[in-house]
Amino acid sequence: MFLDRIIDKTPVLNEGTRGSEIAMWMQDKDIQSFAILDDDDDFLPDQMPFLVKTDFDTGLTREHVEKAIEILS
């Protein structure tokens, strides 16, 4: 099943990192579990165990999906 609409997005901080943007987005939400799928690596240290680092050129692969499922389990 695929979503056909965007539900929400992280804020864009002109001087922040992706990690800061994600932390700001998560701040007021009741997040039980999460995985970060991104081709960048500028995340906060406590977010790194939840990162599935993708590659800009190859995109999302089966291995990335399996790792994300493992993190969420």
Average pLDDT over residues 60-66: 95
Average pLDDT over residues 21-37: 92
Any domain includes 30: yes
pLDDT-based confidence at residue 16 (cuts at 50, 70, 90):
confident
Any domain includes 27: yes
Cβ-contact 47, 71 below 8 angstroms? no
Any domain includes 58: yes
Domain count for the chain: 1
What length is written for the chain? 73
Average pLDDT, the chain: 90
Any domain includes 13: no
Any domain includes 8: no
Question: What pLDDT shows up at residue 64?
Answer: 95
Buried b (16+ CB within 10 A) or exposed e, 6-44: eeeeeeeeeeeebbbbbbeeeeeeeeeeebbebeeeebe
Residue-range definition of the domain harbouring residue 55: 18-72
Query: Over 70: is that where the pLDDT of 68 sits?
Result: yes
